[in-house]
Copies of this chain bind each other. A is one copy, B any other.
Amino acid sequence: MTTAIQTDMLKGHKMRFTSSRSAILALFVKRPHALSYSDIEKEVSTAFDRVTVYRTLKTFLDKGVIHKVLDDGGTLKYALCNEHCHDQDHHHDHVHFKCTKCGQTSCLEDVVIPTIKLPKGYKATEVNLLIQGTCQKCR
């Protein structure tokens, strides 16, 4: 099901509209939590090749449509960027919370990461905070 919003999202980031991009973007829109490669692969493997999924994710990352979400399992996850992300300019100073019971990782958009004082000579360009524990559903 392709919505006008998704079409705009792709075109707005200067990407061609293709069925794989549309389908994968739709997954992110539908799900409220971060997706791993295999989460996505499970849902679209009949329609698209593995390689296409990898390349689509890479394209989305480059264009600022999604951002990486760290995971202590070693495999990355991905989540939609908020509206104001572009190719070069990302704003992700929010917290990623992974529930150890349901396994879902979500962005706590409202929780802002406080400024961290680094030792002399260090300069930060990106900050990733992953908090693990139990979410409000699983408590």
Residues of A within 8 A of B (CB): 68, 70-72, 74-76, 95, 97, 100, 108, 110-111, 113-114, 116-137, 139
Contacts and interface: CB of A to CB of B under 8 A. Distances in A.
Contacts of A135: 121-122
B118 A127 contact: no
A131 to B, nearest CB: 5
Contacts of A97: 118, 122
Contacts of A72: 68, 70, 76, 126, 128
A117 B119 CA distance: 24
A133 B125 contact: yes
A129 B127 contact: yes
B133 A122 contact: yes
Contacts of A137: 121
A116 B132 CA distance: 12
B124 A136 contact: no
Contact of A70 (B110, B128, B133): B128
